[in-house]
Amino acid sequence: MKKYLLFIISLSCFLNAFSQFTGTNQVINNGNMRFGDGTEVSITVSGTLKQPFYLSDANGWRQLTYTDIRGGQQRKYPLDCTFGIGGDGTNEWNINGVVKSNPLFASATFDSSSFNISGGFGSGNIKVKGEVTIGTSQLEVINDYSIGSGDNFIKVTTTIKNIGSAAVTNLRYWVGTRDDFVGGTDEPIKERGNLVNGSFQKLTSITQQSSALRILTLDEGILFFTKSTSANTSVADYDFDYNVSETVTPSTVQISTENDGSYSLYVRMRNIAVGESDSFIWYYAAAPLDELNDVVKDVAISSCPTCIVDTDGDGLLDPNDSCPYAAGVSDLNGCPWSIYVGNNYKTTTVSNSIEIANETFLCSSTDPNYYNIAYHTGASAEPIVGDNLIYNNNYPTPHGLLFENEGFAFMKLRDYNKIIEVKKSDGEIVAIYNCN
């Protein structure tokens, strides 16, 4: 199935403890995504991922970076990484001090104890640890790659530890590619923006900080994203030997570019004293354009399950929703039951005044467009008299229950073919009528 590329990166302090680096390099290929040709091990001598691919229903495996042939030698570009250390760090983005791309991992070891091979596909966690020297600074770097058997994304946690004898200042990290090639397109569209409530939104000004970069073709694309407040994105021309975008000030890059080029996401990390570490997390996913919104939401949920999504579709983002999953089961700690109630309703000032034989309009309503999610209290999924309808505002037009506090309202329960009578002042269900 076609997939859509997604990077998500965020900064946080991370401690890699209790890992046993006695394993081996592995082939990362879960059937949806792979890194390398599918038979070779997937992690490079620099600890990065080899050339990424995604599986297209129509076209098979599709490469996601360029393949260069020079002097009879074929070079398949991996995901480049670059370290920057020292120099004047007054400006959040800078290329001062010592900058080094794809440094070789010395003393590389692997932890593949949580990586599983089944039916020719590999999934789970694999970590690679190595040491790099940047100028006079010595760093221990751990890349933790995690991909589920049914996932369309890989999660990567990169941790940098200062194992030298002096503090590391002005620590920076770039990730991206020196030459883009997405599916069958060598000049994809690059868009700078941010993820807002789980969706991609382009910048409105080039000077705005961009935590997301989306690269599009007619069928597929690439997206980098970070929640870090010290990150930005860059786009530039391509070069076979280095990533030009790493040398371009992000605030000068156009919002949208269509070219054969390079791109990167830049993260300004914190200064780390001897023995200290810092880390960032990124996600890399794949899907066709018509699945992009769902993929972005899936990865947003993975990166922060209660941050920016509306899990139950009730119009409230999960952090503001007292019960975002609202299924009413015991492991949700007594959250109310979800229920579909009609947005066509009748109102009265006198309780128990309904004649069910006269309610053919409400009783015959079956179109799902005329129903909205509400919650109700109680011990079972089907509401009973004495339960309370506690939330019901996802309506196409203002609903009387939102602003009226006197009298009673009658509305149909879609899944039970019944009409409930609700006291407007507190949502108490005072009567239930069977539709015939």
Separation CA 374–CA 428 (nearest Å)? 13
Burial profile 203-218: b = 16 or more Cβ within 10 angstroms, e = fewer: beeeebbbbbbbbbbe
Separation CA 374–CA 314 (nearest Å)? 8
| pLDDT value at residue 339 | 82
What 3-state class would DSSP assign to 384?
A: coil
Contact present, 111 and 22 (Cβ < 8 Å): yes
| pLDDT value at residue 9 | 43
Query: Strand locations in 87-220, DSSP E?
Result: 98-101, 106-118, 121-134, 137-147, 153-162, 172-177, 189-196, 199-202, 212-216
| pLDDT value at residue 258 | 97
371 DSSP β-pair partners: 342
| pLDDT value at residue 4 | 42
Pull the structure tokens for residue 326. Answer: 């609202």
Contact present, 124 and 116 (Cβ < 8 Å): yes
Q: Hey, what amino acid is at 281?
A: I
Separation CA 47–CA 369 (nearest Å)? 52
For residue 88, what are the contacts with CB-CB under 8 A and spacing of at least 6? 94, 96, 97, 170
pLDDT along the chain (436 residues), means of 10: 43 46 96 94 97 90 91 90 97 97 96 94 96 98 93 90 98 95 94 84 94 90 82 95 96 97 94 95 82 76 67 60 51 63 83 84 82 78 85 48 74 90 86 89
Separation CA 154–CA 282 (nearest Å)? 8
User: Own/partner pairs for 363-366, CB < 8 Å, 24+ apart?
Assistant: 363/412, 363/417, 363/419, 363/435, 363/436, 365/412, 366/414
Chain centre to alpha carbon of residue 301: 6
| Residue at token pair 């407007």 | 424
| pLDDT value at residue 319 | 63
| pLDDT value at residue 257 | 97
Give me the domains of the chain, ranges plus CATH numbers: 10-303 (2.70.98.90), 319-434 (no CATH)
| pLDDT value at residue 41 | 97
| pLDDT value at residue 307 | 64
**What DSSP designation does 39 have?**
S
Separation CA 215–CA 284 (nearest Å)? 13
Contact present, 227 and 249 (Cβ < 8 Å): no
Separation CA 257–CA 248 (nearest Å)? 14
| pLDDT value at residue 36 | 96
| pLDDT value at residue 348 | 84
| Total residue count of the chain as it appears in this document | 436
